[in-house]
Every structure is written in C-alpha cells, then in structure tokens.
C-alpha cells in the first residue's frame, strides 16, 4: 500500500490518516525501521497504534479467524486493516523468526488480511456463492490479496503437508497468480518469488496436483533472477533493478531451487553474492534479514562442498 506524505502526515491510499506511530514506520509506503531491538519496538508500537485506531479491544483473540472476521470496522478504514496485516508479516519474518510465538504472529496477519478482503461486499458475495478461489480471481485489491497471502503462506510453512488437503496451497497460489495479473512488479516482483518458493518447498508426494515441481519453481524464479545459465530457456528475466536490489529474491532462489537441486557450488555462489551486496536504501529491513538468512544457509551449503 502506498502511503503519501501530506504536510508531514502519512495517509493511506484511501485517504485515512495513519496513527502517528504507524506513520513514522510507513511514511515511504514500506515498513522502514532499524534491524535492531529498537526497530522491533517501533514496529510493535505501530501495530498497537493501528489496533487502537481501529478500536480493537485487548480481549479480541486475533489468532481466531472468526473473531477477527466478525469484529465490526468501518469499511472506510480498510487500508488500515491491510496495513496491520502487512506489519504483522514484517514482524514475523524479520524479528520473530524462530521464536515460540512466530506462527501466531503470521496467523494474526492472515486473519486481518482476509478481513481486508472481506470488507469488499462483492468479494463476500462471490465467496459465498462461488467459493474463495473464484472470488480471488475477480478481486482487484493487490494490497489485500498480497499481504493476506504472505501471512497465510507463512502459517502453512509450519505444516506444509497438512496445507495441501486443507486447500491452503491452492488458495494461496490463486492469490499470487491474481497479484501477477494485476501488478507483477508489486513488492519487487514478490509474487514470483513466493510462487517459486512454494513449488520448490512442497513435499515430494507420489500423486496430486500440489507436489514439489522444481521446473515450475525455476520458471517463476527466472522472472526475478538474472542468470543466463539457468534461465535462457525459460521466461525472460526481469531487468528491473528492483529484482537485484531485493536480496530476498536471490536468497529464496538459492534455498528453494538450487539447494533442492543439490547444486551446492551454485548455491554457495548465489548466497555469497547476497552477502556481498549492499543493503541499499529501498528496503533495508528485509535485505538485512535476507543477509542473515543467507549467512545461515551458506554455512549449511559449505558443509556439502
């Protein structure tokens, strides 16, 4: 969601004013805080401010979809709901990774994201009549689709095998494919990155539609990875500098394609390139996290060389 700065005050795309503590974190349209305990405290404060602005009581169980779904919020404040979903995802992937409460962070983000989608009466009507996937295929709100999906995929990662019969994989893939249709550049081509990761991370099941498919994963990654050795026969690599500047693209490519293919030397090369790259100014928080993840993955890969 792009946030505009008007007279020093950040406003969401709908024109709704962001709470001061949230505005300080999201004034550029991205979550920008230091990769530190201080930055985490700022993000926690932004989340608390957003919930306060939405009138969310302390007694609301955000880990329960029904409780969040039925909590009344003025539709004019939809952008704040989706911003809350985005902030929860950022908290989970950047700061809460490996903690006991990590899954619940994503679960909360997923529920607010889905609520954002369902604040559109047309979406609700289509979901009730034709099902979630059909509603997704006609949804036009990229922000709502993407951040609900990012949190949902992160929840599913805790039990990938169970996510298949539960229909989560099919639903989240449909959401990402719809994002690609609407705006493939969103979040530095993030939908391609996540689609590649999903197909590379799925279990190797003996049957069924949703099982590991590394060729399909490669095809998605080749939209965001400039690698003539691996992408010359697939879709053209994106030439937008944002692809290279977002270090998570290469980190995910190494983790969910190269390592899965046991291409240890190539994986080491790509991960080292992530570590050698500048953090940059566009998305420093996620890039700092990507470098920490790359450092951990590289140590694992080097034991295979």
Is pLDDT at 237 greater than 90 in this prediction?
no
Contacts of 239 (CB under 8 A, 6+ apart): 226
More confident residue, 159 or 4: 159
Same-domain status, 135 and 189: no
pLDDT at 7: 27
Same-domain status, 141 and 196: no
CA atoms lying within 13 Å on the CB side of residue 282: 11
Residue 249 lies in a domain: yes
State which residues form the domain around 221.
184-305
When mean pLDDT is compared across 25-39, 91-105, 157-171, the lowest value belongs to 25-39
pLDDT at 19: 83
Residue 3 lies in a domain: no
Residue 34 lies in a domain: yes
Same-domain status, 113 and 59: yes
Count: domains in the chain: 2
DSSP H/E element including 295: helix 284-302
Mean pLDDT of the chain: 90
Same-domain status, 41 and 135: yes
The model's confidence at residue 234, banded by pLDDT at 50, 70 and 90, is: low
pLDDT at 8: 30
Same-domain status, 208 and 151: no
Contact assessment for residue 19 and residue 161, using Cβ atoms and an 8 Å cutoff: no
Same-domain status, 286 and 209: yes
Residue 171 lies in a domain: no
More confident residue, 68 or 28: 68
| Chain segment 111-167, per-residue pLDDT in tens | 999 999 999 999 999 999 999 999 999 999 999 999 999 999 999 999 988 898 899
pTM listed for this prediction: 0.91
Share of the chain above pLDDT 90, in %: 77
Is pLDDT at 285 greater than 70 in this prediction?
yes
Q: Which of 184, 114, 123, 124 has the alpha carbon at shortest distance from 153?
A: 114
More confident residue, 238 or 162: 162
Contact assessment for residue 220 and residue 195, using Cβ atoms and an 8 Å cutoff: yes
Is pLDDT at 105 greater than 50 in this prediction?
yes
Same-domain status, 154 and 221: no
CA 112 remoteness from chain centre: 14
- Torsion-angle region of residue 17: left (phi > 0), alpha (psi -120 to 50) or beta? beta
Residue 300 lies in a domain: yes
DSSP H/E element including 268: helix 264-276
Mean pLDDT of all residues in 37-55: 94
């Amino acid at each position: 969601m792009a946030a505009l700065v008007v007279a020093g005050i950040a406003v969401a795309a709908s024109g709704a004013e962001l709470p001061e503590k949230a505005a300080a974190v999201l004034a550029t349209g991205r979550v920008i805080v230091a990769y530190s305990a201080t930055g985490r405290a700022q993000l926690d404060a932004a989340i608390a401010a957003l919930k306060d602005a939405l009138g969310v009581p302390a007694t609301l169980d955000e880990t329960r979809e029904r409780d969040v779904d039925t909590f009344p919020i003025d539709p004019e404040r939809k952008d704040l709901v989706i911003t809350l979903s985005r902030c929860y995802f950022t908290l989970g992937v950047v700061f809460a990774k490996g903690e006991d409460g990590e899954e619940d962070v994503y679960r909360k983000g997923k529920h607010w994201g889905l609520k954002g989608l369902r604040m559109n009466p047309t979406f609700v009507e289509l979901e009730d009549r034709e099902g979630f996937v059909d509603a997704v295929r006609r949804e036009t709100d990229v922000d709502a689709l993407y951040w609900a999906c990012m949190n949902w995929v992160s929840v599913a990662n805790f039990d990938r095998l169970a996510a298949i019969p539960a229909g989560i994989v099919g639903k989240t893939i449909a959401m990402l494919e719809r994002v690609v249709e609407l705006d493939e550049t969103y979040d530095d081509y993030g939908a391609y990155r996540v689609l590649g990761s999903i197909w590379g991370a799925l279990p190797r099941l003996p049957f069924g539609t949703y099982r590991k498919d590394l060729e399909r994963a490669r095809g998605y990654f080749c939209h965001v990875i400039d690698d003539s050795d691996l992408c010359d026969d697939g879709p053209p690599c994106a030439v937008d500098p944002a692809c290279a500047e977002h270090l998570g693209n290469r980190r995910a490519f190494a983790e969910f394609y190269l390592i899965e293919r046991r291409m240890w030397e190539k994986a080491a090369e790509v991960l080292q390139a992530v570590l050698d790259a500048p953090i940059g100014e566009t998305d420093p928080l996620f890039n700092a996290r990507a470098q920490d993840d790359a450092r951990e993955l590289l140590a694992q890969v080097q034991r295979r060389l």
